[in-house]
Amino acid sequence: MSYLRDIRPTKSELLVLKSRLKIAVRSHKTLQMKLDGLILEVTNLAPLVKAEYDLLMVRYRRVRHLLAPAYMIEGMLNVTIAAYSVESKTEIEFSEKNLFGIRVPVITGSNVRTDLVDRGYGLLGTSLVIDDLADAYEKLVDAIIAYAGNAAALSHLIAEIERISRRVKALEHVVIPSLEASIATITASREELEREEQSRLFHVKKRWK
Amino acid sequence: MHHYLVTPSSYRYICTRIGLKKKSLISPDQYNRLLNMELSQIIRFIGESGYHEEVHMLSSAYSDIELIEHALTENLAKTYRSILSIAPGALQELAEQYFSRWDIENVMLILRGCQFHIPGDRIRAVLIPAGVLSPSHLDHLLTLRSIQEIADNLSSWPHHEIVSARISGGYRRGLFASLENDLYLAYYGNLLTDARFGIRGGDVILPHLRFEIDILNIRNIFRLRAGSTVSDITPFMVTGGYMNPEDFQRLYGVTDRETFVNELSRAGILSILTEALKNLRCDENVCEADAADVVWRRWAAHKTPLYTVMLSVNAMLLHHLDGLARRHQFSVLPIISYLEHKRYEIANLRAIARGKQFGVNPDFIRQHLVM
């Protein structure tokens, strides 16, 4: 096995290898459990992210659909001025939460949806299409924030699953088999040495008689 | 009450001239042809019609859609200025009062442009100097660096007190929205008073003005219902229309269909919306029950009525104005009617050009035309 080379068939080496095997088996079991947990979490999160993505696309299409009438009715500058007039600032907060020892981002937004009278443009000087467009954009920002947090968490989890999966496979297919093979080799060679010793002793005793 | 030594012949002259000008506006057939044109063909069309001067003047600075939009705005400003300059005495005063809503729009654009650091050239390109404030005064306002300075330089404007009282404390959240609302409320209040008692011949615009106020209130009550949680809508309702503000306040709180339809019907809104829906769908069979159904579904879901319905309502307002202008041939109404038609012609051309830019189909664009 390529994993372990130049091992001496001594009892101390055998004890070290046995201890390492024990740790490897325990690590494998723990990582396998963590992997199962992460996969379960991803299975739960993926449909949610998919639904949020679909909602995001629906809202994005709605915005695109309303942009044309807004420009058609109000013209470029009036739309721009209305956009500039919006005074409520959306606040986006970043935090982290611990999921199976992995720190995943949590993104939340506040002040996204605003009341018509608090938006910043006058009610009597603008038309209805500006309301519809502003409302559509607010809903889009809401969907982006919801999607961004969960999509980032999902991508972190998937990256972690990939990393742990590689470790589990390495333990399962390389480390544990090589340790077992080394232990077997050392045991065999120690038994061979023991048999040689017994045979030597037998012949020595026979000569003395 | 002002008295002017204006002979009826000058009224007849200006109104006949306006009538001829109105006939040269783009017809529905021409709109249908425009709907099937590309942007370059539209530029050529408007360059060969009444907009040739602006198109030729701006073609070196802008291209495609920007050229169209700038040429249209420039032409609209020029038309307003030329018509108001040839209108005699009381007609000019009344027309200027009526179109001083452009002053509000201009002042708000300049204030917002100044506060949000929008280049002055971009603001200047969309200003329509059609009211009391002259183009040179607006240009001067554009050069000022703070909203306080702008407010100080508006001392000759009738709404100066409102602007300076609001802006005295500096910029704060919600300032522009409340200022804009206050200015429009003051505008309608002053115009109604002037039309009733201030300017000779002003009473002819009262029916149009009252109908316009009703439509504005209808539009705003739906907008507030859809996007706001305010309980008192009185500050946003313009007084002076045919409908009572209390009716709107009562309607605002309605949550069951039967009461809603009854209130709509009683306030006279349902008949307006039915007519608008009929025109929009080009279907004579649309009845009040259909309109009530459409509006109730939007109302119950806290959504605004479709903006295409409101565009159709605007077309009704224009037809109402035309009817009044025919009834009072030698008054300010033909001037207002022509300039409103001109404004909608510009809006229609812009809608067609922008629709073409976004690649939407002609039927969709047609819904956004006010004809």
Identify the structural domains of chain B with CATH numbers, from first to last: 88-201 (1.20.1690), 211-309 (no CATH)
Average pLDDT over residues B112-117: 87
Beta bridge mates, A93: A108
Tens digits of residue pLDDT in B212-269: 898 888 888 888 888 888 888 888 899 888 888 888 888 888 888 888 888 888 777 8
Min Cα separation A84/chain B (Å): 7
The residue-averaged pLDDT of B335-356 equals 91
The whole-angstrom separation of Cα B339 and Cα B86 is 13
Helices (H), A75-171: 76-85, 128-170
- Please answer whether residues B255 and B225 qualify as being in contact, where contact means their C-beta atoms are separated by less than 8 angstroms: no
Contacts of A73 (CB under 8 A, 6+ apart): A127, A129, B307, B311, B347, B351, B368
CA distance A91 to chain B (A): 16
Summarize the confidence of residues A174-178 as an average pLDDT.
94
The vertex-A39 CA angle with A34 and A45, nearest 5°, equals 125
CA distance A167 to chain B (A): 52
Q: Cβ neighbours of residue A27 under 8 Å, at least 6 residues apart? A: A171
Helix axes B206-227, A128-170, angle to 10 degrees: 20
Handedness of CA B316, B208, A82, B304 (dihedral sign): negative
**Interface predicted TM-score (ipTM):** 0.82
Q: Is the pLDDT assigned to residue B280 strictly greater than 90?
A: no
Question: CATH says A16-186 is which class?
Answer: mainly alpha
Evaluate if residue B1 carries a pLDDT over 60: no
- Where does the pLDDT of residue B271 fall: very low under 50, low under 70, confident under 90, or very high at 90 and above? confident
CA distance B148 to B118: 17
Question: Which of B39, B72, B73, B112 to mutate: most A Cβ within 10 Å?
Answer: B112
Report the DSSP beta bridge partners of residue A7. none
Which pLDDT tens digit goes with each residue over A70-86?
999 888 777 877 887 87
pLDDT (tens digit per residue) in A111-142: 888 888 888 888 888 888 888 899 899 999 99
Decide if B181 contacts B236 (C-beta within 8 A): yes
Residue A195, pLDDT above cutoff 50: yes
CB neighbour list of residue B161: distance below 8 Å, 6 or more residues apart: none
Cβ partners under 8 Å of residue B178, min gap 6: A122, B166
Per-chain mean pLDDT for chain B: 86
CB-based burial label for B67 (10 Å; 0-12, 13-18, 19+): buried
Q: Cβ(B26)–Cβ(B349) under 8 Å? A: yes
Q: Which of A73, A125, A135 sits opposite B108 (nearest CB)?
A: A125
- Given B73, B180, B355, which is nearest A124 (Cβ)? B180
How far is C-alpha B371 from the chain's CA centre?
15
Q: Do A124 and B181 touch (CB under 8 A)?
A: yes
SS3 label, residue B200:
coil
pLDDT at B8: 65
Could you give the CA distance from residue B190 to residue B302 in angstroms, rounded to a whole number?
Answer: 33
Residue-level pLDDT at A25: 96
pLDDT in the model for residue A180: 94
CA distance A61 to A55: 10
A84/B116 Cβ within 8 A: yes
What's the pLDDT band for A22 if we cut at 50, 70, 90? very high
Burial (CB < 10 A; 0-12, 13-18, 19+), residue B245, is: middle
Residue B258 CB-half CA count within 13 A: 0
* Selected residue of B166, B176, B178, B360 to mutate for chain A interface (largest A Cβ count, 10 A): B176
Would you state the pLDDT for residue A4? Answer: 58
Helices (H), chain B: 8-23, 28-35, 39-48, 52-58, 64-86, 89-98, 101-115, 120-124, 135-143, 147-152, 160-167, 175-193, 206-227, 245-252, 257-267, 269-281, 288-300, 307-327, 333-358, 362-366
Tell me the per-residue pLDDT of A196-205, one tens digit each, with 9 for 90 and over: 999 999 999 9
The percentage of chain A sitting over the pLDDT mark of 70, rounded to a whole number, equals: 97
A107 CA to centre of own chain = 16
Out of B178, B181, B227, closest to residue A115 by CB: B227
Give the rounded percent of residues in chain B with a pLDDT score beyond 90.
Answer: 16
End-to-end CA distance of chain A: 46
> What pLDDT is attached to residue B199?
73
Give the mean pLDDT of B135-146.
Answer: 90
Q: What is the mean pLDDT of residues B80-85?
A: 86
A90: contact with B, CB 8 A cutoff: no
Query: In whole angstroms, what separates CA A200 from the centre of its chain?
Result: 61
Binned at pLDDT 50, 70 and 90, residue B2 comes out as very low
Q: Looking at the predicted structure, is the pLDDT value of residue B202 above 70?
A: yes
Does residue A137 sit at the B interface (CB-CB below 8 Å)? Answer: no
For the stretch B206-222, pLDDT in tens is 888 888 898 888 888 88
**At B1, is the secondary structure helix, strand, or coil?**
coil
User: What number of other Cβ atoms are within 10 A of residue A198's Cβ?
Assistant: 10
Cα separation, B222 vs B307, in Å, equals 11
Residue of B nearest to A134 (CA): B227
Distance CA B239, CA B256 (A): 26
Q: Give the Å distances, CA to CA, from A142 to A65, A68, A106, B96.
A: 18, 22, 14, 45
Model confidence at A3, pLDDT cuts 50, 70, 90, reads low
Tens of pLDDT, residues B282-299: 777 888 888 888 888 888
A38 touches A160 (CB < 8 A): yes
Residue A204 at interface with chain B, using a CB cutoff of 8 Å: no
3-state secondary structure of A108: strand
Q: For all residues of chain A together, what is the average pLDDT?
A: 89
B10–chain A nearest CA distance, Å? 34
- 3-state SS, residue B190: helix
Kindly calculate the radius of gyration of chain A based on its CA atoms and give it in whole angstroms. 34
CB contact under 8 A, A127 and B185: no
Short-list B182, B179, B203, CA closest to B191: B203
DSSP letter at B24 equals T
| Average pLDDT, integer, range B67-77 | 88
Residue-wise pLDDT tens digits, B14-51: 888 888 888 888 988 999 999 999 988 999 998 888 88
User: B124 at the A interface (CB within 8 A)?
Assistant: no
Say if residues B111 and A81 touch (Cβ distance below 8 Å). Answer: no
Whether residue B310 and residue A127 make contact (CB cut-off 8 A), yes or no, is yes
Give the minimum alpha-carbon distance from B354 to chain A in angstroms, rounded to a whole number: 5
